[in-house]
């Protein structure tokens, strides 16, 4: 029979070739080697805490059961203690060394769960735990958004928190506290979870009812009950893959671009420990413990729930003398995130490798829409001016949105079954006289909810918030079509080409909204070979220009050819005229009329050397 010596004891091991994780082929012997490799980091977090086990003696897809008493076959030298129980005498194992850990693992004890108190002081907790469990339609990155909110709330109460993956679907936050009766810890944790739900009902629930958890995260406060336990740091989990409940740093959590970056297996954790040490070591320092407040700090008045929130609770009365949180946290102008042009659609593992969201690229004006309650809405153009006076129907629709909601969107016109960019360039009066023209605001991002700037959240979280915010909002405001399936996105582009869809905007799923530029996390692909450029000057008479001098984003400068058509010349004169400065002489092109403000245009490049052909101005 195989043997292993751990902490001075020689253990007889059995059935090392038994498959514990059929989907990955992971053997029992690999499980034992994992626990042997991490026991020096794991055991301090179990010290003097009674352990409950999830036993999987025949693997995770066979019979699995909870064991509180020492399992049959537990060696006599493994310590056990009596613990309070409503069902009579209960003894539980306390793991004090690597030999005891390996002996129990050899008996099929795969998962390790412990209470928040020590055996020497039952029901006197020295840590608080919050288990974040995503409902259907939410995921681990949604849990991250909630974890960051909880960290802020705990910090406001003078409490530091550490975070780990659950090894399953969610996250665990742990907080070192001075010894406190478990009942009082549960009361504080419940009040904290309830306050967060009141403040963010679109994101958080604190009750177990599954009907209310869709698209939200359950903040499970109940594991602070003296009778409850939580998966220990570094324990394996009985999941299809041999995942581990793994401590992570807050910085690592924030920069993760996808769930895969926060999923760690028994093959990865030993090397991770060697590289970074035990990220939960501060929890073991008595100096980190802080007194638990009697109650969480008073919360700001809650954000009004979206129309999609089922039966949201009414807002509590604000605390006397406490100022109301401003609902409008973003004000115009804001810098927008701009995608870089590419010639091919990135694969689903491109843009950083954590997933890509593909959105339809529409033919309109970029527009950041600010809903300002009793104040007039503001429709910020690409250059920062207000488009609201020019597009009253869109302004009226934005005015009906909740105060403080800020959307990044495309303002479009629709005529004759296709997008009609030219209608946006007409006067308000001309559009009003054309009943066949419909205006729309197609939102592709949410920058702020009432009282909350969400730009730091990953795109996947912002997309979910966007859909929730617009769930019951009628046209002309709609969310853009988006998918994470590249093949489906390309199929859309082909099927909708006749409607004027230009191509795709492809975004890294984990990307925050960076006002100063997208780098390579947002890219745009045009189905045609048109390029964007900035108009530097016009040639010919200002009232009837002959050509444009255009500068590409890469710095190259071109004079358009052939000569502008009469229709093009009139459109260019109308839009560029107010932006023209004094006439000048260009060393390459002779007399010109330079522009004093940015104006964007589209062109095509053909031939070698390339020839630039003007397509159209981009209006705003």
| Phi-psi map region of 584: left, alpha, beta (phi>0 left; psi -120 to 50 alpha) | beta
Give the pLDDT band (50/70/90) at residue 98. very high
How much is the pLDDT for 314?
A: 33
What whole-number percentage of the chain has pLDDT above 90? Answer: 61
Stronger pLDDT, 109 or 374, i.e. the higher one:
109
Would you say the C-alpha torsion 470, 476, 480, 374 has a positive or negative sign?
A: negative
Q: What average pLDDT does range 314-340 have in this prediction?
A: 65
User: pLDDT digit string (tens) for 223-280?
Assistant: 999 999 999 999 999 999 999 999 999 999 998 888 889 999 999 999 999 999 999 9
pLDDT score at 4: 86
Rounded Cα distance, 158 and 591, in Å: 68
- Look at residue 619 in the predicted model and tell me its pLDDT: 58
Mean pLDDT of the chain: 88
CB atoms within 10 A of CB 365: 23
Residue predicted with more confidence, 341 or 538: 538
Strands (E), 230-364: 230-231, 247-248, 340-342, 356-361
Could you state, in order of their start, the residue ranges of all structural domains in the chain? Answer: 3-114, 124-288, 340-526, 530-617
HSE, CB side, 13 Å, CA atoms: give it for residue 524.
Answer: 19
CATH code: domain 340-526 is 3.30.470.30
Give the alpha-carbon dihedral of 514, 518, 519, 523, to 10 degrees: 160
Residue 311 pLDDT greater than 90, yes or no: no
Length reported for the chain: 620
Burial of 58: CB neighbours in 10 Å, binned 0-12, 13-18, 19+: middle
pLDDT band at residue 350 under the 50/70/90 scheme: confident
Q: For 63-121, where are the E strands, in sequence order?
A: 65-67, 80-82, 91-93, 109-114
What is the per-residue pLDDT across 122-157, written as a single tens digit (0 to 9) for each? 999 999 999 999 998 899 999 999 999 999 999 989
Q: Is the peptide bond before 333 cis (omega within 30 degrees of 0)?
A: yes
In this prediction, residue 319 carries a pLDDT of 37
Q: Which pLDDT belongs to residue 529?
A: 55
CB atoms within 10 A of CB 559: 18
The yes-or-no verdict on residue 204 having pLDDT over 50 is yes
For the whole model, what pTM was predicted? 0.52
Contacting residues for 381 by C-beta, under 8 A, at least 6 apart? 365, 366, 367, 387, 620
Q: Give which of 23, 287, 7, 274 is closest to 160, Cα–Cα.
A: 287
Find out whether 130 and 189 touch, Cβ atoms under 8 Å: yes
Q: Give CA–CA dist 545/560, Å, rounded.
A: 11
Fold match, 340-526 / 530-617: no
Cβ neighbours, 10 Å, residue 477 = 20
pLDDT of 354 strictly over 80? no
Provide the pLDDT for residue 326.
62
pLDDT in tens, 559-607: 998 889 888 898 899 889 999 999 999 988 899 999 998 899 988 876 6
User: pLDDT, tens digit, for every residue of 16-67?
Assistant: 999 999 999 999 999 999 999 999 999 999 999 999 999 999 999 999 999 9
Mean pLDDT within 158-184 = 95
Which CATH code, of 3.30.200.20, 3.40.190.10, 3.30.70.3300, 2.40.40.20, is assigned to 124-288? 3.30.70.3300
Q: Is the dihedral of CA 430, 433, 436, 440 positive or negative?
A: positive
Measured CA to CA, the distance from residue 90 to residue 84 in angstroms comes to 7
Residue 443 CB partners (closer than 8 Å, separation 6+): 369, 407, 408, 409, 466, 470, 477, 478, 479, 480
Tokens of 168: 């399953």
Could you tell me which CATH number the domain at 530-617 has?
2.40.50
Gap between the Cα atoms of 226 and 48, Å rounded:
15
Kindly indicate the confidence band of residue 504, based on its pLDDT and cuts at 50, 70 and 90: very high
What is the structure's pLDDT at 298? 57
Residue 305 has a pLDDT of 30
Q: 453, 473, 204, 184: which is closest to 329 by C-alpha?
A: 453
SS3 122: coil
The tens digit of pLDDT for each residue in 415-439 reads 888 888 888 888 888 888 888 999 9
Which pLDDT value is given to residue 520? 72
CATH of domain 3-114: 3.90.920.10
**Are 13 and 99 within 8 A, CB to CB?**
no
DSSP state of 144: H
Alpha-carbon distance 26 to 3, whole Å?
20
Q: Give the three-state DSSP class for 585.
A: strand
Task: Assign 3-state DSSP to the chain and report helix, strand, coil percentages, each to 5.
Answer: 25, 30, 45
CB 8, CB 99: distance < 8 Å: yes
Show the beta-strand stretches assigned E in 22-137.
26-27, 52-55, 65-67, 80-82, 91-93, 109-114, 124-134
* Separation between Cα atoms, residue 582 and residue 594, nearest integer Å: 7
CA distances from 431 to 5, 437, 474, 514, 587 (A): 84, 7, 21, 35, 42
């Amino acid at each position: 029979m195989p043997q292993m010596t751990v902490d001075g004891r020689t253990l007889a091991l059995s059935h090392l070739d038994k498959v514990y994780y059929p989907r990955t082929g992971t053997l029992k012997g690999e499980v034992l080697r994992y626990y042997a490799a991490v026991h020096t980091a794991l055991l301090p977090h179990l010290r003097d805490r009674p352990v409950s086990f999830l036993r999987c003696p025949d693997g995770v897809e066979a019979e699995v059961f909870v064991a509180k008493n020492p399992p049959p076959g537990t060696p006599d030298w493994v310590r056990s203690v009596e613990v309070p129980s409503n069902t009579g005498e209960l003894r539980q194992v306390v793991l004090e060394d690597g030999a005891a850990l390996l002996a129990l693992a050899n008996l099929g004890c795969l998962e390790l769960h412990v209470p928040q108190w020590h055996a020497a002081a039952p029901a006197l907790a020295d840590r608080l735990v919050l288990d974040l469990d995503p409902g259907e339609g939410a995921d681990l990155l949604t849990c991250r958004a909630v974890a960051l909110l909880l960290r802020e709330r705990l910090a406001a109460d003078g409490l530091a928190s550490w975070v780990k993956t659950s090894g399953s679907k969610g996250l665990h936050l742990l907080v070192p506290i001075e010894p406190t009766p478990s009942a009082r810890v549960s009361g504080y944790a419940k009040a904290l979870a309830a306050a967060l739900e009141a403040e963010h009902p679109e994101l958080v629930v604190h009750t177990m009812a599954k009907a209310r958890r869709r698209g939200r995260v359950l903040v499970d406060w109940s594991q602070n009950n003296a009778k409850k336990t939580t998966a220990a740091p570094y324990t394996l989990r009985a999941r299809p893959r041999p995942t581990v409940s793994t401590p992570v740093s807050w910085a690592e959590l924030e920069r993760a671009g996808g769930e895969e970056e926060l999923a760690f297996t028994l093959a990865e954790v030993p090397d991770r420990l060697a590289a970074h040490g035990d990220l939960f070591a501060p929890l073991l320092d008595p100096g980190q413990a802080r007194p638990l407040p009697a109650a969480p700090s008073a919360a700001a008045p809650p954000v009004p729930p979206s129309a999609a929130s089922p039966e949201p609770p009414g807002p509590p009365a604000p605390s006397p003398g406490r100022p109301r949180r401003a609902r409008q946290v973003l004000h115009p102008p804001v810098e927008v995130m701009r995608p870089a042009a590419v010639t091919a659609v990135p694969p689903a593992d491109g843009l950083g490798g954590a997933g890509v969201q593909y959105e339809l690229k529409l033919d309109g004006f970029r527009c950041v829409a600010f809903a300002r309650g009793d104040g007039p809405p503001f429709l910020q153009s690409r250059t920062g001016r207000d488009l609201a006076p020019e597009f009253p129907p869109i302004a009226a629709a934005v005015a009906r949105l909740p105060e403080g909601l800020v959307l990044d969107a495309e303002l479009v016109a629709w005529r004759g079954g296709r997008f009609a960019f030219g209608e946006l360039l007409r006067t308000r009066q001309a559009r009003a006289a054309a009943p066949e023209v419909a205006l729309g605001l197609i939102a592709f991002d949410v920058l702020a909810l009432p009282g909350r700037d969400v730009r730091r959240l990953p795109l996947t979280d912002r997309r979910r918030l966007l859909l929730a915010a617009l769930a019951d909002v009628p046209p002309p405001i709609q969310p853009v079509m988006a998918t994470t399936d590249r093949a489906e996105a390309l199929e859309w582009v082909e099927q909708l080409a006749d409607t004027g869809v230009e191509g795709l905007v492809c975004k890294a799923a984990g990307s925050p909204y960076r006002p100063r530029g997208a780098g390579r996390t947002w890219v745009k692909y045009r189905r045609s070979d048109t390029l964007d450029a900035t108009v530097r000057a016009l040639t010919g008479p200002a009232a009837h220009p002959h050509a444009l001098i255009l500068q590409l984003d890469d710095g190259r400068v071109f004079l358009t050819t052939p000569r502008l058509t009469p229709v093009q010349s009139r459109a260019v004169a109308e839009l560029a005229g107010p932006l023209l400065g004094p006439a000048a002489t260009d060393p390459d092109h002779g007399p010109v009329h330079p522009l004093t403000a940015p104006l964007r245009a589209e062109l095509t490049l053909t031939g070698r050397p390339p020839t630039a052909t003007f397509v159209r101005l981009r209006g705003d």
